[in-house]
Amino acid sequence: MKKILVCFVFATIVCGCGQQNATEAESNINKGSEKNGETLAINTTDVDSAINKNSEKNTESLTTLTAPEIPEGVVKFDKTVPEEKRQEIMEKISKKYLMGQFDPVKDERFTKILSPYGSKSNMYMRKEAFEQFKAMHKAAKKDGITLVIKSATRPFNAQKSIWEAKWTGRRKVDGKLLDPKVKDPEARALKILRWSSMPSTSRHHWGTDIDINSFNPEYFDRSPGKQEYQWLIENAPSFGFCQVYSEMGEERPFGYQEEKWHWSYLPISQQLTRAYGEQIQDKDITGFLGAETAVSIDIVNKYVLGINPSCK
């Protein structure tokens, strides 16, 4: 009989529970669960069965492991599960989160962004980040500044749709449609990367990052955008937000162009950034047109980690 423990984690993890076989266990680790908010206790003595073989043992004497790279995520392990096995399992779970391969709608760590805070109704973000944005929104209102979220969490498939529309010449890049015929894949990828992330590498996967008021750089050069940006520079840090794509230069030589609209909630995103650098390699970036260029571009080091030093 499987023992179910309720906790805020995006996947249902099956490791050696009842007569669950290795294929099913691996499938649950890789695919996640339709029943968000539940996790199966990880049975112990023969935890290898979670990956390689069957186990018929029940779960007893549970201890809790909280994975730093998955804030609030809790997975239950039997006390006899070796630390190295815990890490092996947790890395599989957290990689999916870091690369946006989950559904925020079904994840209890996320909340829907309601009016008047968002410009559209189908956006989600981490609960903690949204609470702080609401507080920041209120403070800005008192100073005559209006802040509106234009974009928030974008899972892998949403980012893939944006990327491939640009890659195939169906969506403009720097004001122009690219030639549908790809002559130089790396040059094409670099052009798109000026403003858009490859799927699996976007900070928008995490629910911690938001775009505020406009996607147009020129908007922030004149009123009211200029005043809004100045207010954010002076006040957003006190609410936990940081402009991750600051002006490029000696301190930030690589990565995306400056985005005055993109702000990240550091209490969560800092540890996710560190986890990404430790767990994800360029070769892991797959599943979309142009993915083969990730290695030659050095996508993790130059783009995922190529952020404002103040936000690391």
Expressed as residue numbers, the domain containing 240 is: 109-311
104 in a structural domain:
no
12 in a structural domain:
yes
Query: Are 235 and 136 in contact, with CB atoms under 8 Å apart?
Result: yes
Last residue of a domain, one of 66, 98, 130: 98
21 in a structural domain:
yes
User: The domain spanning residue 212 has which CATH number?
Assistant: 3.30.1380.10
Number of domains in the chain: 2
pLDDT at 75: 55
Same domain, 58 and 83: yes
* pTM score, whole prediction: 0.75
287 in a structural domain:
yes
Same domain, 149 and 257: yes
Same domain, 273 and 134: yes
Tokens of 14: 């099956």
Ordered mean pLDDT values, 10 residues apiece, the chain (312 residues)? 34 34 38 38 40 33 36 58 79 85 91 96 96 98 98 97 98 95 97 98 98 97 98 98 97 97 97 93 98 98 98 95
Pairing type for strands 209-212 and 262-265 reads antiparallel
CA distance 94 to 100: 10
pLDDT at 79: 80
Same domain, 47 and 152: no
Last residue of a domain, one of 70, 98, 126: 98
pLDDT at 108: 86
103 in a structural domain:
no
pLDDT at 235: 98
pLDDT at 84: 85
Phi and psi at 241, nearest 5°, equal: -100, 145
Same domain, 68 and 164: no
CA distance 53 to 9: 24
Same domain, 251 and 138: yes
pLDDT at 153: 98
Same domain, 157 and 259: yes
Last residue of a domain, one of 98, 129, 156: 98
